[in-house]
Amino acid sequence: MMIAVPDLLTKEEVARVRSLVDAAEWVDGNATSGHQSALAKRNLQLPENSPVAREAGKLVLDALGRSALFIASALPLKIFPPLFNRYEGGGEFGVHVDNAVRIHRESEFRVRSDLSATLFLAEPDSYEGGELTVEDNFGVHSAKLPAGHLLLYPASSLHRVEPVTRGARIACFFWVQSMVRDDAARTLLFDLDRSIQSIAADRGQDDREIIRLTGIYHNLLRRWADS
């Protein structure tokens, strides 16, 4: 399941994050790559231990905590501390699959990477190329979202970042360990939740059918969730 979360960051928050990361010192993006990824990756990144990355990452984490759509779709248990990357001058990231477990080198904090997340921090018309392309059972999907928009997709999928031929593609990226590791089960819960919210808007939260469906949702979540 691919989910776009529009306006996770406001324009003011995007500007604040950009003011932090644009002035920071970038390093070779392969600082956090595994062997396979290092063969395909050409970009820049803020170091994991960068104070700037921590400050900007906190702004992102605060926004995630306020986003009902992110919480409903990801059902997050743990979130890897947000990282930041930059593609320019032909930079790209060839086809790859993210590591199953991500370990933060400074703290040994680790997550099982059920979901990958890309938060776009540059407007699409400010650079050429740079589309995030994801392959799944339903085909190939490309996304290049407005600044402040987030894209969630299964970390198990083949994906790539197309070469950036003009300007700079700036983004935040991180991984989510969901309470529900199975993507199909997570999709069913998300669809059920959206239906409940839609019906409740017409009938009200105290409608008996809404109460019954909400009970089904929580019983399914109880069956499938790790905590």
Locate the domains of the chain by residue range.
3-178, 183-224
**What does the pLDDT read at residue 32?**
59
Query: What average pLDDT does this structure show over 26-53?
Result: 81
Same fold yes or no, 3-178 and 183-224? no
The mean predicted confidence, pLDDT, of the chain is 94
According to CATH, the topology of domain 3-178 is Jelly Rolls (2.60.120)
| Of 199 and 32, the one with more pLDDT | 199
Give the model's pLDDT for residue 105. Answer: 80
Return the structure tokens found at 164: 């950036």
Mean pLDDT of 27-49: 77
Instruction: Read off the pLDDT of each residue in 36-43 and give the average, rounded to a whole number.
Output: 73
End-to-end CA distance of the chain: 22
The one-letter code for the residue type at 28 is D
Q: What percent of the chain has pLDDT over 70?
A: 96
CATH topology of domain 183-224: DNA Excision Repair, Uvrb; Chain A (4.10.860)
Q: Are the C-beta atoms of residues 30 and 44 closer than 8 Å to each other? A: no
Contact 81, 174 (CB under 8 A): yes
pTM confidence score: 0.93
Residue 171 has pLDDT above 80, yes or no: yes
Q: How confident is the model at residue 35, as a pLDDT?
A: 52
Q: Residue with structure tokens 């700079």?
A: 168
